Structure 1
Amino acid sequence: MDSLVSTEWLAGELGAPDLKVVDASFHLPGDGRDARDEFSEAHIPGATFMDLAEIVDSDHPVPGMLPPDYKFASRMQALGIGDADRIIVYDNSPHHSGARAWWMLRSFGARRVAILDGGLPKWIAEGRAIESGQPPPARGHFTAQLDRTALADKDHVSAIAGSPAHELVDARGASRFAGEDPEPRPGVTPGHIPGSKNLPQGRLFNPDNSWKRGAALAAAFEEAGVDLAKPMVTTCGSGITAAVLLFGAHLLGKQDVKLYDGSWAEWGSDPATPKATGPQATGPNATGPNATGPNATGQS
C-alpha cells in the first residue's frame, strides 16, 4: 500500500475487513472548531475518531508530547485497530493533522499506514458518501513500541542548530516564525530556533487540498532554502504540522528525517535556549540572524 492513497482507491476499498479508516482532525483553541463534534456531524463511512489532543503524555510539562507505549496501544485498541490492519488516516483541518497521526502510528510500530490525499474536503467535494454519529468500534489488538530514532529531543536540536551539515525546518507561518505574532500558548517567547528554515506547511498542498508531488513538491522545499540532501529535523509549534513537512519529505523518498516533538512549545518556553526573530533571509550573500547560504553569518 502506498503512503498516499486517492479518494477513488479508498471508495473501492471501504468495507474490507482489514481496512481501518481514521479521522485525525485537530484544531487549536483559537480555531473556534471542535474536531470531535465535526466528526459526529460528518465523516467517511466506517471511520473512527483519533483524538490527537488526548493521545499525549499527560504527565509531561510540554503540551502534546508523544504518550507512553501503553497509552498509545490502549487508544489504538479502543479504535479497533490491530497490528495487521491497513490504516488510512485523513483530516478536515487547516493544520493537515492526518500527517501527525500517520507519523505517530508509524513511530509506534504500524507498518501499513497511509494518508488519504485531499482528506475529507476532497472526499465531500467529489460527492462521496458520508455518515454521522459516533459508531462504537470493535476492539483491536495493537502492539506499540516507540521507535525513538523517529524523533529529536531538545538536546539533539541544540547540537545541530546552525550546523551546515543539517537542516532544521519550521512548518509555522511566516509571521509566527519571525516572532511578529504572539504565540498561542502562555509563557512561550515568539520567534524561532536560530539557523532554522521556514517552510509554512500549507505550501505543500494544491488548491483542492491534495498534496503536491514530484517536482512541485521538491520546489517547495528548495524555495525555502532547504537542501534535501542533508539530514533534516522538522519542527513547528507543538509537533503537529512538523509532521506535514516530514511526510512531504517522505513522498520525495527522503528517510533521514526526525521530528522535534517538543517544537517551539518547549524551545520557546525555556529561558536558556537561544531564540531568533525576523524573517528568513536567503541567497548566496545572505546575512543576518536567520540567514541561509554559503556566506551566511549572524547570531541569535
Structure 2
Amino acid sequence: MIAVDIAATDFRPDLVRWRQLVTPAWLAALTAGARVEAAPAAAWRLFEVGCGGAALFEQAHIPGAAYLDTCDIEQQPLWNKVSDQALLALLLARGVRHDSTVILYGRNNLAAARLAHLLLYAGVADVRLLDGGYPRWQAGGHPCARGPAPACAAAPDFGVAFPAHPEYLASTAQVRALLDGGDGVLASIRTRAEFMGQVSGYSYIAAGDIPGARWGRAGEDGDVNSMSAYHRADGSLKPAADIVAPWAEHGIGPGRPATFYCGTGWRASMAFFYAWLMGWPEISVYDGGWFEWSQTPPPA
C-alpha cells in the first residue's frame, strides 16, 4: 500500500469543502487500493451518472463504478425529481445511507451534479464529485473496466429522517416568495441568449426567463450542456474567485440566500454544488426551473 501525496492530487485550498472535489489521480489511487489523503471514513460507493448511457458504461467505465441513470431520479412531464419515497427506495437499493461516502462522475458531469444535489438534499453527508468527469479520467490515461457493474447489497435503512435537508430544494411558491421578499436572489444559470429570452435552448420549452432573476451565467449560447463560464478547457473547475467575481457583479453572493435554476435542473445543480463547495450557507435549487415557471399560471 502506498500513500498519495496530497499535493499530487491537487486538492483545492480555495474551497471550504475541498475534500468533496476529487481529481482523477486521487480516484485512481483509491480504486487501486492505495492509501490516500482525505480517504472515505468507511464504505464508499462510486457511480457513473448518465442519461440513457448504460450501453456506453458497459463498454468502458471507471473500475468499481456502478451506473445510475437520471431517468431514475427525474420524472416527466417537467423533469423534476421523483417523489421522496421513490428517491429513498432508489438510494437504499443502491446501498446508500446517510453516512455513506458517494463519489460521482459523468461523461457529462452535469448529470453527476444533478444527483449530487439530490444526495445532499436527501442527507448523504459525504458526497464527492470527480472534477472534470469521465473525459478528464480518460485524458489522464487511467484504466477502464468493461461489462455490467456487479450487484450491490441494499441498505436496510437510511439512518436519519428523509430528506435531511429539504431547504436545498425550492418550489415555485418559494421562488415567488423569494422574489417578493427581496432578501434573497434568484440566479439564472443559463446562457445569455436564454436569459434575455432570445432562445429557449430546448425543443420542448418556450423562450423566456423569470422576471426578477439575476444572470448567473452558464456556457456557450445554443448549448445547454455547456458550463464553460465555470470550467477550464479540460472540464475542471475554475478557481473559486473566477466564479464568485462575475456572480457578485449581478448581486449573487454568500451574504444573501441564493436559489439557482436553469431550464430543468442540471446546470443549476452544478452551480449549487460549487456554491456548496465554497461553504455558502443558504443555497437551494429551484427544481422546476424555467420549464415549470413557464407552465405555471401566476397567482390571482
Task: Confirm or deny a common fold (TM above 0.5).
Answer: yes
Name the structure 1 match of 2:280.
Answer: 254
Name the structure 1 match of 2:243.
Answer: 217
Q: CA deviation at 1:4?
A: 0.9
Q: 1:116 to 1:273 in 2, by over 3 A?
A: farther
The runs of at least 4 aligned residues of structure 1 exceeding 6 Å deviation read none
CA distance in 2, matches of 1:40, 1:152: 35
Name the structure 2 match of 1:283.
Answer: none
Aligned residues: 262
Q: How does 1:253-292 map to 2 (within 5 A)?
A: 253-272=279-298
Q: Secondary structure at the match of 1:75?
A: helix
Name the structure 2 match of 1:8.
Answer: 25
1:245 to 266, 271, 281: 271
CA distance in 2, matches of 1:6, 1:208: 12
Please say if 1:204 is aligned against 2:246: no
Name the structure 2 match of 1:67.
Answer: 82
Q: Secondary structure at the match of 1:96?
A: helix
Name the structure 1 match of 2:4.
Answer: none
Q: Which runs of 5+ in 2 are unaligned?
A: 1-17, 34-41, 219-226
Please say if 1:110 is aligned against 2:124: yes
CA distance in 2, matches of 1:116, 1:220: 24
Of Structure 1 and Structure 2, the greater strand share is in 2
Provide the identity percentage. 27
Name the structure 2 match of 1:194.
Answer: 211
Q: CA deviation at 1:196?
A: 0.8
User: Could you tell me which amino acid in structure 2 is paired with residue 122 of structure 1?
Assistant: R
Q: CA deviation at 1:113?
A: 1.0
Q: 1:44 to 1:160 in 2, by over 3 A?
A: same
Name the structure 2 match of 1:52.
Answer: 70
1:23 to 42, 45, 48: 48
Q: CA deviation at 1:128?
A: 0.3
Q: 1:37 to 1:176 in 2, by over 3 A?
A: farther
Q: How does 1:144-159 map to 2 (within 5 A)?
A: 145-146=162-163, 147-159=165-177
Please say if 1:88 is aligned against 2:103: yes
CA distance in 2, matches of 1:80, 1:40: 20
- Give me the TM-score of the superposition, normalised by structure 1: 0.79
Q: 1:220 to 1:10 in 2, by over 3 A?
A: farther
1:129 to 132, 135, 143: 143
CA distance in 1, matches of 2:146, 2:87: 26
Q: Deviations over 1:56-105 (max 9, x none)?
A: 356xxx52222223322222233343444311011111x62221111111
User: Could you tell me which amino acid in structure 2 is paired with residue 171 of structure 1?
Assistant: I
User: Could you tell me which amino acid in structure 2 is paired with residue 4 of structure 1?
Assistant: L
CA distance in 1, matches of 2:299, 2:105: 35
Q: 1:36 to 1:177 in 2, by over 3 A?
A: farther
CA distance in 1, matches of 2:259, 2:99: 30
Q: Report if the CA contact (8 A) 2:73-2:115 is conserved.
A: no
- Give RMSD over aligned pairs: 2.4
Q: Deviations over 1:157-209 (max 9, x none)?
A: 112226542111011222222221235254x4321111111223311111111
Of Structure 1 and Structure 2, the greater helix share is in 2
CA distance in 1, matches of 2:230, 2:181: 25
CA distance in 1, matches of 2:67, 2:31: 16
User: Could you tell me which amino acid in structure 2 is paired with residue 86 of structure 1?
Assistant: T
Q: Report if the CA contact (8 A) 2:48-2:68 is conserved.
A: yes
Q: Which runs of 5+ in 1 are unaligned?
A: 27-33, 275-300
